[in-house]
Copies of this chain bind each other. A is one copy, B any other.
Amino acid sequence: MEVEQVLHMNGGVGKTSYANNSLLQRAVISTVKPIVDASIEELCCTLFPECLKIADLGCSSGPNTLLVVSDIIDNIRNTFQKLNRPPPSLQAFLNDLPRNDFNTVFRSLPGFYKKLDEEPEKKLGPCFIAGMPGSFYGRLFPENSLHFVHSSYALMWISEVPKGLVTKEGEGLNKGNIYIAKTSPPAVFKQYLEQFKRDFTVFLRSRAEELVPGGSMVLTTMGSIKSDDPLCIWEFVGMKVNDMVLEGLIEEEKLDRFNMPYYAPTTKEIEEVIEAEGSFILQKLEVFKNDWDSYVKQANSGLDKKTRAAIFATDIRAVGEPILASQFGEAPMDDLFRRFEADVLDHMERENCQFINLVISLTKKR
């Protein structure tokens, strides 16, 4: 499996599209906003760029994509008003893998610019939004060409499934699961951790080359409290796939050989990689915990459990469907997410499952 070829959120604007099912990601962006704000303000007050150059890595396709840019525009305007200086122009690069649905994002830009023009209090210097397709596990931009990098809910997607999860004989090490789970042998956890360390190191090194000295990053990713027991949503999806294997609806071998290209690190693992790579000062590392469905409750108060489970199931489907379908085919997807929907909230309550969100604020050493 070439992760670059199969990993993307559901495109378009239909019922199961990521664009219409990304409430969770939206809630996270708003939780992290104060940290982004502080970072941008600090940046503006130290670097005073004529044109502020920013990148959003793993931008995906949907209303959240431009939400981040929009928040940052508000922020720059406020900061420069306080400083009593004319605001800079802005060049924003939206990055995701080449199979992301950039067309949908680009088609919403004329409306976005129009809205900016219509709100004179939002007036900034000219604002230029470009798309930059490619993997952030490697260089994306020229040297010293960015002031700020943002990434939300993207870094937990690693560059490849650890090679050591399948033996030379082609046997799967992580049978019956699609991610680190309670029934996974310890070697599975180790392989994932090593892959994460390699990937995150490359990520930091690439950004260190691209950012100007003093430039900064705010990264939000899913994490764990204990790495070898992450109580992850993909563990639960794996259980449902396993049920379908037991009923003969999915081939056992397909499950045994499949693992998600995903890793939810702990704060300690994050800190160790940053320290070892050496280009950045860690300004802040915060943990936010939420019940799996709390963002649904927040967005629509008073929904019963069944309705919340349905929304949650569509959201996870919008994220996971392309990669799951690449292994198991399109056909079992409806059934799989019906099963997911039926049990997910009971499972969450029983196991105290929570999303662990890590927010990492970094400055490039001068």
Q: Which residues of A contact B (CB under 8 A)?
A: 4-5, 50-51, 53, 89, 91, 93, 98-103, 106-107, 109-110, 126, 128-134, 139-143, 145
Contacts and interface: CB of A to CB of B under 8 A. Distances in A.
B98 A110 contact: yes
A99 B103 CA distance: 7
A contact face: mostly helix, strand, loop, or mixed: mixed
29 contacts: A5-B110, A51-B142, A51-B143, A51-B145, A53-B142, A89-B142, A89-B143, A91-B141, A91-B142, A98-B106, A98-B107, A98-B109, A101-B103, A102-B102, A102-B103, A102-B106, A103-B103, A106-B131, A106-B133, A109-B133, A109-B134, A126-B139, A126-B142, A128-B139, A128-B140, A129-B133, A130-B130, A130-B132, A130-B133
Given A128-B140, A130-B130, A131-B133, 12 more contacts: A51-B145, A89-B143, A93-B130, A98-B106, A102-B102, A102-B103, A102-B106, A103-B103, A126-B139, A128-B132, A128-B141, A130-B132
The number of times this chain is found in the oligomer is 2
Contacts of A103: 101-103
A131 to B, nearest CB: 4
A143 B140 CA distance: 21
| Max count, chain B CB within 10 A of own CB: residue among A5, A101, A102 | A102
